[in-house]
Amino acid sequence: MALDEIKITRAIIERFTAKLCDSLNLDVAIVGAGPSGMMAAVKLAQKGRKVAIFERKLSIGGGMWGGGMMFNEIVVQEEGVRLLNELGIAVKNAGDGYYTADAVECTTTLASSVCKAGGRFFNCVTVEDVMVRDKKVTGLVINWSAVDIAGLHVDPLVIGSRFCIDSTGHATELINVIQRKSGATIMTDTGKIKGERSMWAEVAENTTLNNTKEVFPNVYVAGMAANATFGSFRMGPIFGGMLLSGEKVAEIIDERLKG
Ligand code: 48H
């Protein structure tokens, strides 16, 4: 077969443009392709929801690739093992309710599951702002990460979405921008982002689930961003809470989309 570079280029441009245009009005826009965001995307896509993840980096996976200190294994406690089993990820029993899994297998399988369920990734895209109407977030303001990194003065584009999830991890970027630009009251007891606290795995893992909720009309926090918003602890390389948080936020939003 003769290869034509122009045809290759045209195929990429046309396919990507079609994918992006078809994502201009989403049910759920997810910011950050770490474990919590990807688990939320899998569950929402499996329920037939139109969902896309916007990830700043070229690589998806957030903090999961590196396991603990680049020892690329993760620990998952008993409660989270069900989710790894559902995705067919190999799990090894480490005794006393602790389980381990290969960090690369977890990351790649989660990512593949998002795609196979019909969810979409837009990597190399930074979410820099939101769109607010009637004190509700109605979409995301996006730009190429390369534009951001190069400091180019290029205006962004917009994605409409019924609901948004901040799964940006420690940085809690979406809620930060909402707080900064809207002068908005965040749904914590102080009305503000409370910030992350130091390491305490047991409490952190339990609070991650409780803190997975709506914090501004139409915007939910999941994963590490949930704990950072509500002033809870970090937990180190144990990932059950991240995965369960993704599942929980998907269930809550799916119910709201039914209403
Ligand atoms: C687009 C963005 C933006 C933006 C950030 O950090 P993550 O892996 O997120 P979680 O919460 O699913 O998982 C946290 C976990 O990985 C972790 O760090 C743990 C358990 N730490 C414990 C501890 O003690 O340290 O992924 C967040 C993703 C990253 O890939 C970012 O690049 C991306 O979000 N991101 N993408 N636009 N504005 N901000």
* Interatomic CA distance for residues 98 and 70, integer angstroms: 19
* pLDDT range class, residue 79, cuts 50, 70, 90: very high
User: Which amino acids bring their CB within 6 angstroms of ligand 1?
Assistant: 31-37, 54-57, 62-64, 126-127, 167-169, 171, 173, 199, 223-225, 234-236, 242
> Which of ligand 1's atoms lies nearest the C-alpha of 64?
16
**Ligand 1, atom 22, residue with closest C-alpha:** 236
* Interatomic CA distance for residues 57 and 210, integer angstroms: 28
**Ligand 1, atom 23, residue with closest C-alpha:** 236
Q: Report how far ligand 1's centroid is from the alpha carbon of 37 (Å).
A: 9
Tens digits of per-residue pLDDT, 88-113?
A: 999 999 999 999 999 999 999 999 99
Q: Report how far ligand 1's centroid is from the alpha carbon of 103 (Å).
A: 15
Which of 72, 76, 168 for a ligand 1 pocket mutation test, highest count of atoms within 8 Å of Cβ? 168
**Ligand 1, atom 15, residue with closest C-alpha:** 63
Tens digits of per-residue pLDDT, 133-165?
A: 999 999 999 999 999 999 999 999 999 999 999
Q: Report how far ligand 1's centroid is from the alpha carbon of 168 (Å).
A: 4
Please give, one letter per residue, the 3-state secondary structure of the chain.
Answer: CCCCHHHHHHHHHHHHHHHHHCCCEEEEEEECCCHHHHHHHHHHHHCCCCEEEEECCCCCCCCCCCCECCECEEEEEHHHHHHHHHHCCCCEEEECCEEEEEHHHHHHHHHHHHHHCCCEEEECEEEEEEEEECCEEEEEEEEEHHHHHHCCCCCCEEEEEEEEEECCHHHCHHHHHHHHHHCCCCCCCCCCCCCCEEECHHHHHHHHHHCCCEEECCEEECCHHHHHHCCCEECCCECHHHHHHHHHHHHHHHHHHHC
**Ligand 1, atom 24, residue with closest C-alpha:** 236
* Interatomic CA distance for residues 176 and 253, integer angstroms: 21
- Position 183 scores a pLDDT of 78
Residue 35 has pLDDT above 90, yes or no: yes
Task: For residue 202, count other CB atoms closer than 10 A to its CB.
Answer: 11
Tens digits of per-residue pLDDT, 233-246?
A: 999 999 999 999 99
**Ligand 1, atom 9, residue with closest C-alpha:** 169
Residue 184 has pLDDT above 80, yes or no: no
* Interatomic CA distance for residues 68 and 72, integer angstroms: 7
Q: Which domains does the chain possess?
A: 24-258 (3.50.50.60)
- Position 191 scores a pLDDT of 95
> Which of ligand 1's atoms lies nearest the C-alpha of 32?
34
